[in-house]
Structure 1
Amino acid sequence: MEKIRILHTNDLHSHFEHFPKIGRYLRAAQKDKSVDQVFTFDAGDFMDRSHPLTDATYGQANIKLMNSFHYDAITIGNNEGISNSHCVVEKLFDHANFPVILANLREEDGSMPHWAVQDKILLTKKGTRIGLIGLTAAYPLSYEPNHWHVKMLKETMDSVLPKMKGQYDVLILITHIGLNMDNFLAKNYPEIDLIVGGHSHDLLPHGKKVKNVWITQTGKWGNYVGDTYMEIDDNHHVQKITPHVEPTSLMKSKPDDEETILGYRQKGKEILSHELVADLPEKYDNDREAALQVSMDAIANFAGTKLAMLSSGLFLTPFKKGILTKYDLQRALPHSMHVVRSTLKGSDLWRLIMEIEKNRHFLDQFPLQGMSFRGKIFGQMYYKGIKFDPMSRVVFVNGKEVDPYQEYQIAVLDHYVLVPFFPTLAIVGDNDFLFPQFLREVIGDYLAKKYPLAGSENNGRANEQQKS
């Protein structure tokens, strides 16, 4: 009988406060002599640019730390594939000492990304062939504008499995597709033995068995580490799988952990604070409404629209007068969300505004739990170019009553398309997700032009003269 121990993480989201404990736990468990072999996997969303160190290093700090965890294989999540520009992802794994398994993502020309492999076979010391397939969330609306081609899960599995037939004894999927889709795979592909999953942040303390397939997830943010045992007979057939999780809170701390954790944040702050963006005038000093107004101007300019909307809860800290740095922007708007240009008929725009106004008081203090990191509360909605008369229920666009038959374009955020509060956007909006910049970068670029740093205008003119 062969005993295999499988350690796994998912959805760490740059929660570096758990990394010292997790690193020690993994490295100690990887030396376990009570089993024949130990494998370590990560199921995606290991990085999140809401942390200043991740943002400042474009995820390279995460890669360095993950190297110290000694992963045998990982897959990527939407935070890696969508929250970064195409060129950042192309370089993200340049210094990784682990393979990235990813069967359902391609370059636009259909080729495999140079940093990934579709599948992999691990050979144990006792000769068992463990087949690995990696899958990420199939979000064409977000991946395609970022110059990737993402394949649907069924299409991918129906293509990959026949090619792997006869090459493995045990089949493990490392997925970042959420529990519902893991259930789908378990029900439809009995070849699978184990799914190490992520994305939906489900905590499965003792796994979940669907037909004969085991699924395991460890929740989110490194609060738990997965620790799954597998028993394989002498004919290389799985006899038993026992998933469980270990709470990070019960792992032993060391005196210097806190200093290490604070050091990660301080290093990110130091790098970003040296990158100057704009010189803001007095009117922005601690004025959230002024920040909202100029931010709506920014996303409208980026999307090429005259209309825009934003919610106040996105802004965690106000802007200050004087020099604005990338750290100031990251602290105010840490969320990795993208601008969307939505085209709506006038009648649908009217309906969208009715949905917003109906929910206005409900959303004002609505806590944003389970919606990734989009601020603490939703907050108040603000409009650019739109006014609403609550007595007559008339919507005005740039001073004129909305024409129900005319098409209008409005700059919104992917957040508003995906959350359930404003269904009109998702149901009838013709939505263009705009890449690669995300919200704070769009706002920063706009402020840099509107309120340039001293000498930057002259330098820009000189450079233009040199080019000509």
Structure 2
Amino acid sequence: METIRILHTNDLHSHFEHFPKIGRYLKKAQADKSVDQVYTFDAGDFMDRSHPLTDATKGQANVKLMNNFNYDAVTIGNNEGISNSHEVLEHLFDHANFPVILANLREEDGSMPKWAIKDKIINTKKGTRIALIGLTAAYPMSYGPNHWHIMMLKETMDDLLPKLKGKYDVLIMITHIGLNMDRWLAKNYPGIDLIIGGHSHDLLKKGEEDNGVWITQTGKWGNYVGDIKLEINDQHCVQKISPTTVPTASMPAKSGDNAIIQGYRDKGKELLKAHKVADLPEKFADDKEAAIQVSLDAIADFAGTDIAMLSSGLFLVPFKKRILTKYDLQKALPHSMHVVRSTLKGSDLWRLVMEIEKNRHYLDHFPLKGMSFRGKIFGQMYYKGIKFDPRTRIVYVNGKEIDPNREYQIAGLDHYILVPFFPTLAIVGENKFLFPQFLREVVGNYLAKKYPVNARSESNDTRY
């Protein structure tokens, strides 16, 4: 009989406030002599550029901290794969001391990324062969414009599993595809023994067994750590899988933890504040609407359109007059969203405006979570180049009544395609996701051009 202990995390999202406790828990568990072997895995979204240290170092600080967690393997989430440019992701793991297992992402030419492997076979001390396969959420509309080729899950599994047949005794999936897709894997590939999952932020305190396959997930933000016991017989077959989760809040704190956590934030703040972006005039002093209006101009300029839309809830704080730094922008717009250029017929643009106006009062205070949003409420919708007459229900574009047969292009965000409030965009919009810059980079670059920092500001870096 062989006993194996598996520790796992998912969706840490740069919540460094939990890292001191998690690190100590993992190190103590990794030294457990009551079992034959201990392995540690992460199922993606370990970074989030809403944290200043992650943003300032483009995730390198996260990798450095995760090296101390002694992971045996990880996969990536959408925050690594989509929130970063192609170039940043290419170098994200340059200094990682753990392998990145990812079977369904390729370079545009079909080759494997140099920083990833499709699968890995681990041989335990007692000779059990454990196969690891990593999968990330398949978002072709986002990966494609960022110069990656993302493969669908069935295509990936049907290609890889026959090649691994006979080479393993235990099959473990490390996935960032969400609970529903993990259940789909369990239904369609019952030869899997264990799925260590993430992405949907589900907390499965004791795991979930589907079609004989165990699925585990620890929620989000490092609030829990997964701890699984595997019992394997002398023929190297799994006899029992016992998943548990441990609340991070129950782990003992140490007196220096708060100083370490604050140090992460202070270091990120220091690095970002060193980069001056723009020298803003008086009108921006504590005026959120001024920030919204110039950001509408920014995304329209980036997308090459003359109309645009943004929601006020994106702006967590206003911009300020005089010197605006990368830290100020990061505080105001922490979201990792990308600009989208949507092409719509006039009749469809009219319907989009009707959807916005119908939902306006509801969305003004709607508490929104997920889909890259890092604020609290959706807020009011603002337009550039569009006016709506509620009495006649006529929509005007740049001062002229909308032509139902003409094509229009509007700049917005991927966020508006993902939320369910404006179905016209997803159903009939010809949507072009624009990479590599995301929202605050687009706004920062526009402000740098429109309100450049003069020589007296002594800035040597005004661009993202």
TM-score bin (small chain) = over 0.9
Alignment deviations for residues 324-345 of structure 1 (CA, whole Å, 9 cap, x no partner): 1000000100110000000000
Q: Higher mean Cα deviation, 360-369 or 128-137?
A: 360-369
Q: What SS does structure 2 have at the residue aligned with 1:146? A: coil
Give, in whole Å, the separation in 2 of the partners of 1:371 and 1:15.
Answer: 17
Query: Cα offset for 1:459?
Result: 11
What stretches of structure 1 of length at least 5 have no aligned partner? 461-468
User: Is residue 2:179 matched to residue 1:179?
Assistant: yes
Q: Which residue of 1 aligns with 2:368?
A: 368
Root-mean-square deviation (CA, aligned residues, Å) is 1.3
Look up the equivalent residue of 2:245 and give its one-letter code.
V
Tell me the CA shift for residue 258 of structure 1. Answer: 0.4
Tell me what 1:228 maps to. Answer: 228
2 CA distance for matches of 1:459 and 1:379? 34
Aligned to 2:50: 50
CA offsets 1:233-276 (integer angstroms, 9 cap, x no match): 00000000001100000000000000000000000000000001
Give the partner amino acid of 1:111.
S
Asked if residue 331 in structure 1 is aligned to residue 331 in structure 2, the reply is yes
- Partner residue in 2 for 1:87: 87
Distance in 1 between the 2:240 and 2:27 partners?
25
User: Distance in 1 between the 2:65 and 2:356 partners?
Assistant: 43
The Cα of 1:404 is off from its aligned counterpart by 0.6
Structure 2: distance between partners of 1:458 and 1:224: 45
Alignment of 1:120-269 (within 5 A): 120-269=120-269
Structure 1 residue 372 displacement after superposition = 4.2
Q: Which deviates more from structure 2 when the two are superposed, residues 228-237 or residues 451-460?
A: 451-460
Deviation track 1:348-379 (CA, whole Å, cap 9, x = no partner) reads 00000000000000000111134443311101
Cα distance in 1 for partners of 2:327, 2:369 equals: 25
Q: What is the distance in 2 between the residues matched to 1:128 and 1:328?
A: 52
**Equivalent-residue separation in structure 1 for 2:74 and 2:459 (angstroms):** 45
Give the CA deviation at 1:391: 0.5
Conservation of the 8 A alpha-carbon contact between 2:276 and 2:459? no
In structure 1, C-alpha distance between the alignment counterparts of 2:347 and 2:384, rounded to whole Å: 18
CA–CA separation in structure 1 for the residues paired with 2:223 and 2:458: 51
Query: Runs ≥4 in structure 1, deviation > 2 angstroms?
Result: 369-374, 455-460
Instruction: Give me the whole-angstrom Cα distance separating, in 2, the residues matched to 1:252 and 1:423.
Output: 47
Q: List per-residue Cα deviations over 1:36-90 (Å, max 9, x = no partner).
A: 0000000000000000000000000000000000000000000000000000000
Bigger mean CA offset, 363-372 vs 305-314: 363-372
Post-superposition Cα deviations, 1:267-324, rounded to whole Å, max 9, x if no partner, equal: 0000000001010000111111111110000000000000000000100111110001
Q: Alpha carbons of 1:47 and 1:5: their partners in 2 closer, same or farther (altered >3 Å)? A: same
Aligned residue runs from structure 1 range 390-401, under 5 A: 390-401=390-401
Within a 5 Å distance, the mapping from 1:240-319 to structure 2 comes to 240-319=240-319
CA distance in 2, matches of 1:458, 1:196: 49
Describe the SS at the equivalent of 2:357: helix
TM-score by length of 1: 0.97
Unaligned runs of 5+ in 2: none
Measure the CA separation in 1 of the matches of 2:455 and 2:328: 21
Structure 2 length normalisation: TM-score? Answer: 0.98
3-state SS of paired residue (2:68): helix
AA in 2 matched with 1:323:
I
Q: Which residue of structure 1 aligns with residue 453 of structure 2? A: 453
Aligned to 2:65: 65
Determine the C-alpha separation between the residues in 2 that align with 1:374 and 1:143. 21
Q: SS where residue 192 of structure 2 aligns?
A: coil
Tell me if the contact between 2:275 and 2:459 (Cα under 8 Å) persists in the aligned partners. Answer: no
Instruction: Pick closer, same or farther for the CA change 1:459–1:212 going to 2, 3 Å.
Output: closer
Whichever residue aligns with residue 83 of structure 1, its letter is S
In the other structure, the counterpart of 2:349 is 349
Shift of 1:190: 1.3
- Alignment partners' CA distance in 1, 2:362 and 2:226: 38
How many residues are aligned here? 460
SS across alignment from 1:334 = coil
Which residue of structure 1 aligns with residue 96 of structure 2? 96
Is the partner of 2:334 in helix, strand or coil? coil
Q: How many angstroms apart in 1 are the aligned matches of 2:125 and 2:176?
A: 28
Q: Deviations over 1:194-251 (max 9, x none)?
A: 0000000000001010111000000000000000110000000000000110000000
- Give the aligned partner of residue 424 of structure 1: 424
Counterpart AA for 2:342: S
CA contact (8 A) 2:371 2:418 kept: no
Equivalents in 2 of 1:421, 1:27: separation in Å?
45
Q: Which residue does the alignment assign to 1:14?
A: 14
- Structure 1 residue 392, shift from structure 2 partner: 0.5
Amino acid at match of 2:7: L
Q: Does residue 380 of structure 2 align to residue 380 of structure 1?
A: yes
Residues 2 and 459 (structure 1), Cα distance of their counterparts in 2 relative to 1, 3 Å cut = closer
- 2:451 maps to amino acid: Y
- CA 1:280–1:177 in structure 2 vs 1: closer, same or farther (change >3 Å)? same
Aligned-pair distance for 1:191? 1.3
Deviation at 1:456? 9.4
Per the alignment, residue 389 of structure 2 pairs with 389
Aligned to 2:26: 26
Rounded Cα–Cα distance in structure 2 between residues aligned with 1:66 and 1:402: 53
